[in-house]
């Protein structure tokens, strides 16, 4: 039994107590392995970095120190990994669950990291491979520890043997303290929900889900709305309609076209949602250009921009009270331009450095998959089910990514939104990105 080799020894009075101890994690294998199980009973294994280094690198391991506010799992200590430095790890697991898909993660601590995710641009590859992979972001996992996803693989036994070369990272921080290599079973990804569900035929249901001010909202429609029952009104408002909230473009007194900037609709729970036109995008540099299409709902094609802002005040009738909302960037790009947008994009609130910034992806990041044979290695989407900045494919053919979140109160007033998106050095500009708009809906 694995628990019999725990160090220090475990003390428990029942099987339930033992399971709770293992859920939290225990040291085994002479204190060199941190072992736990997840809710499915699958094994999670983290191997001390001191167990993964050769003798020349092992002499640089720094013994564990207490009282510094950082949690260290292994008494052997940490390995200082400096920018642009190279080192090799030898990963030998012993306690994996067979026929289980795992992620391989580099786990470390860093005194300078403070956000949910942090750019790091970690470069690495398997021994024998010629192509270097990049893990763009590090994620806060627990107790001041951070993780970068390196690989995915499906176990065929309890054992795996990997040689991983780390070729440095590109960031403003001097060094990180590597604690170990973690092998963690992949959690099930949350499926993207389809909001276009069949509307209930119940009159009572339709009446209950209609907002109290639905008549006033429907009067704002750019088209003439006709309904005789609340069920018909609910069907219309559920599907959505354009709101006359735009600008009229005229020539000699004749209207050429109107930019309708808001599309209003209800979600399946009767919560108010709306989509805003890309016409609200603003450039930040004099030479930046945006091309707006002359359609009823303007789309924007970005030209030579490395950053842009979005400023808008959400009127109270557009959102429901006491609701957590997310703002999604709705966009697309030509397949031949995909490589231009790989890597994270920084999002900052209010242009104020005192506010935290965070990161989103326009192209789903991928992780190398280790196949049964060397020539069967592929790539899968990076596995971060709890991270919100991963793009999703929409049913209408566009992409979307969550870029902001906010909570409404019981009494809603006008809600101001100001944020900007800035490309990092991995994305020289947003040129060629087509933005349909910004969708505001409950999380």
269 Cβ neighbours under 8 A, 6+ residues apart: 209, 442
Q: How far are the Cα atoms of 220, 235, 268, 270 from residue 274, in angstroms, in the given order?
A: 13, 16, 14, 13
Does 234 map to a domain? yes
144 in the same domain as 214 = no
Question: In this structure, are residues 277 and 258 in contact, taking their beta carbons and an 8 Å threshold?
Answer: no
284 in the same domain as 178 = no
211 in the same domain as 181 = no
Where on the phi/psi map is residue 385: left (φ > 0), alpha (ψ -120 to 50), or beta? alpha
Q: Which residues constitute the domain of residue 87?
A: 2-185
What is the pTM (predicted TM-score) of this model?
0.81
Tell how strand 262-266 and strand 392-393 pair up. Answer: unpaired
pLDDT for res 251? 46
232 in the same domain as 170 = no
Closest Cα partner for 102 from 51, 141, 150, 32? 150
Does 197 map to a domain? no
Does 155 map to a domain? yes
244 in the same domain as 180 = no
> Residue 24 — φ and ψ, nearest 5°?
-75, -30
pLDDT for res 172? 60
> Per residue of the chain (443 residues), what is the pLDDT tens digit?
687 788 888 888 898 999 999 999 999 999 999 999 999 999 999 999 999 999 999 999 988 765 455 678 898 899 999 988 899 999 999 999 999 999 999 999 987 776 778 889 999 999 999 999 999 999 888 878 999 999 999 999 989 999 999 999 976 667 899 999 999 999 865 555 555 555 556 667 787 889 999 999 998 887 878 888 889 999 999 999 988 655 454 545 555 445 556 899 999 999 999 998 888 887 766 656 677 776 666 777 877 778 888 888 888 999 999 999 999 999 999 888 888 888 889 898 765 555 567 889 999 888 999 987 656 667 776 666 556 888 999 999 999 999 989 999 988 888 888 888 887 766 767 888 889 889 999 99
Cβ count near 407 (within 10 Å): 9
Give the whole-angstrom CA distance, residue 135 versus residue 275: 33
Closest Cα partner for 136 from 344, 299, 331? 344
Instruction: Specify the CATH number for the domain of residue 51.
Output: 2.60.120
Give the whole-angstrom CA distance, residue 151 versus residue 183: 10
169 in the same domain as 31 = yes
Give the whole-angstrom CA distance, residue 272 versus residue 147: 37
How many structural domains comprise the chain?
Answer: 2
175 in the same domain as 246 = no
Give the whole-angstrom CA distance, residue 151 versus residue 136: 13
pLDDT for res 68? 52
Tell how strand 344-349 and strand 378-381 pair up. Answer: unpaired
389 in the same domain as 324 = yes
118 in the same domain as 85 = yes
214 Cβ neighbours under 8 A, 6+ residues apart: 233, 237
Whether the bond into 8 is cis, omega within 30 of 0: yes
Give the whole-angstrom CA distance, residue 389 versus residue 136: 13
């Amino acid at each position: 039994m694995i628990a019999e080799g725990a160090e220090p020894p475990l003390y428990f009075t029942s099987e339930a107590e033992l399971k709770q101890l293992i859920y939290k994690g225990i040291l085994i294998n002479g204190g060199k392995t941190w072992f736990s199980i997840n809710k499915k009973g699958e094994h999670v294994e983290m191997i001390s970095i001191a167990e993964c280094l050769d003798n020349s690198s092992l002499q640089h391991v720094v013994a564990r120190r207490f009282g510094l506010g950082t949690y260290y799992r292994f008494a052997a200590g940490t390995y200082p990994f400096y920018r642009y430095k190279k080192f090799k790890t030898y990963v030998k697991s012993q306690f994996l669950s067979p026929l289980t898909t795992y992620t391989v993660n580099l786990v470390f601590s860093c005194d300078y990291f403070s956000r949910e995710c942090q750019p790091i641009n970690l470069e690495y590859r398997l021994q024998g491979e010629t192509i270097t992979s990049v893990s763009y972001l590090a994620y806060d996992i627990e107790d001041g520890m951070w993780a970068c996803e390196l690989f995915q693989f499906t176990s065929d036994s309890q054992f795996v043997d990997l040689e991983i070369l780390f070729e440095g990272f590109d960031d403003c921080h001097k060094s990180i303290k590597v604690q170990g290599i973690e092998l963690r079973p992949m959690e099930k990804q949350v499926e993207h929900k389809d909001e276009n569900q069949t509307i209930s035929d119940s009159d009572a249901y339709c009446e209950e889900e209609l907002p109290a001010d639905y008549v006033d909202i429907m009067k704002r429609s750019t088209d003439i709305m006709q309904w005789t029952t609340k069920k018909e009104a609910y069907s219309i408002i559920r599907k959505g309609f354009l709101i006359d909230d735009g600008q009229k473009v005229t020539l000699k007194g004749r209207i050429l076209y109107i930019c309708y900037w808001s599309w209003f609709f209800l979600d399946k729970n009767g919560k108010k949602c709306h989509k805003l036109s890309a016409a609200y995008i603003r450039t930040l540099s004099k030479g930046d250009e945006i091309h707006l299409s002359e359609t009823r709902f303007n789309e924007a094609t970005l030209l030579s921009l490395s950053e842009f802002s979005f400023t808008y005040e959400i009127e109270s009738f557009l959102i429901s009270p006491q609701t957590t909302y997310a703002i999604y960037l709705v966009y697309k790009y030509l397949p031949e331009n995909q490589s231009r947008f790989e890597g994270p994009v920084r999002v900052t609130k209010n242009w104020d450095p005192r506010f935290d910034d965070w990161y989103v992806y326009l192209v789903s990041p991928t992780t190398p998959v280790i196949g049964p044979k060397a020539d069967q290695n592929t790539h899968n989407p990076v596995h971060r089910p709890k991270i919100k900045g991963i793009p999703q494919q929409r049913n209408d053919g566009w992409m979307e990514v969550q870029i902001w979140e906010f909570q409404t109160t019981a009494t809603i007033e006008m809600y101001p939104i100001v944020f900007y998106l800035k490309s990092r050095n991995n994305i020289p500009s947003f040129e060629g990105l087509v933005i349909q708009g910004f969708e505001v809906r409950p999380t």
